[in-house]
């Protein structure tokens, strides 16, 4: 099986997870993975809970179809911009409820938990623009500056990752952060971390899991 086949299979699997994890409703949201100079991306209008690898479309970086007969997602311009401008290897776009609700109230995701650091710091809310447009791609790209995630006002979230799993896990984390703030704000004024506190965790995460000073038997020294 080729890398492209693997990518199409992984996208179909994660598309089904989107529904099971309630990160989308119906055929909303989309995912993609870059494989060299090609991008495997979910098709428009295909039910995610029954998606198969054959339903995944492959395009080049200009958006020209290469594999598949279905039409790519209408958000293809946004996905391609994430690859060209932000160096993404995978992109996950959700329509998750807590993130959309927060986008109606805030210009950013409050620093309610140190896990915000996985995105490089505070996550911004991009101004509304119609779906599938160059305007949406531009406003979302601006919100992604120096970050790997953004919330799109009246729309959903977008998360970039070095792998599809990383991008997907990031989308789930971002939805959780939005939900935590909404729950706390419903009963009072939430206490949040400072930008310096989150910046400290960003630095800590850079070496997370590394064993540069491990002993021969695998124990950290």
Instruction: Give the Cα-Cα-Cα angle 202, 206, 208 (nearest 5 degrees).
Output: 105
User: Which DSSP helix (H) or strand (E) runs through 57?
Assistant: strand 57-60
> Do β-strands 149-152 and 123-126 pair in parallel, antiparallel, or remain unpaired?
parallel
Which residue has tokens 């930008």? 195
Buried residues in 55-74 as b, exposed as e (16+ CB within 10 A): bbbbbeeeeeeeebeeebbe
Which residue of the set 54, 75, 127, 135 is catalytic?
75
- Surface-to-core class of residue 45, CB atoms within 10 Å of its CB (0-12 exposed, 13-18 middle, 19+ buried): exposed
Contacts of 137 (CB under 8 A, 6+ apart): 77, 78, 81
DSSP secondary structure code for residue 53 in this structure: G
**Nearest 5°: CA angle at 31, between 49 and 119?**
125
Q: Answer left, alpha or beta for residue 66, where phi above 0 means left and psi between -120 and 50 means alpha.
A: alpha
Is 13 in the active site? Answer: no
Distance, in Å, from the CA atom of 117 to the CA atom of 111, rounded to the nearest integer, reads 9
Give the catalytic positions in this structure: 75
């Amino acid at each position: 099986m080729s890398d492209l086949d693997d990518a199409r299979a992984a996208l179909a699997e994660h598309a089904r997870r989107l529904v099971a994890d309630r990160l989308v409703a119906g055929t909303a949201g989309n995912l993609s993975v870059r494989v060299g100079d090609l991008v495997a991306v979910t098709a428009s209008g295909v039910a995610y809970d029954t998606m198969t690898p054959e339903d995944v479309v492959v395009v080049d970086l200009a958006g020209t179809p290469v594999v598949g007969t279905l039409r790519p997602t209408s958000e293809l311009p946004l996905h391609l911009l994430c690859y060209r401008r932000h160096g993404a290897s995978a992109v996950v776009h959700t329509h998750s409820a807590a993130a959309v609700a927060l986008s109606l109230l805030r210009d950013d995701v409050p620093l309610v938990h140190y896990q915000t650091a996985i995105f490089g710091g505070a996550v911004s809310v991009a101004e509304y623009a119609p779906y599938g447009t160059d305007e949406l791609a531009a406003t979302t790209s601006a919100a992604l500056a120096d970050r790997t995630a953004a919330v799109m006002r009246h729309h959903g979230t977008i998360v970039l990752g070095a792998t599809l799993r990383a991008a997907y896990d990031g989308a789930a984390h971002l939805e959780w952060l939005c939900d935590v703030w909404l729950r706390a704000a419903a009963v009072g004024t939430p206490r949040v971390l400072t930008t310096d506190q989150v910046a400290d965790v960003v630095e800590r995460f850079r070496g997370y899991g590394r064993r540069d000073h491990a002993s021969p038997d695998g124990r950290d020294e």
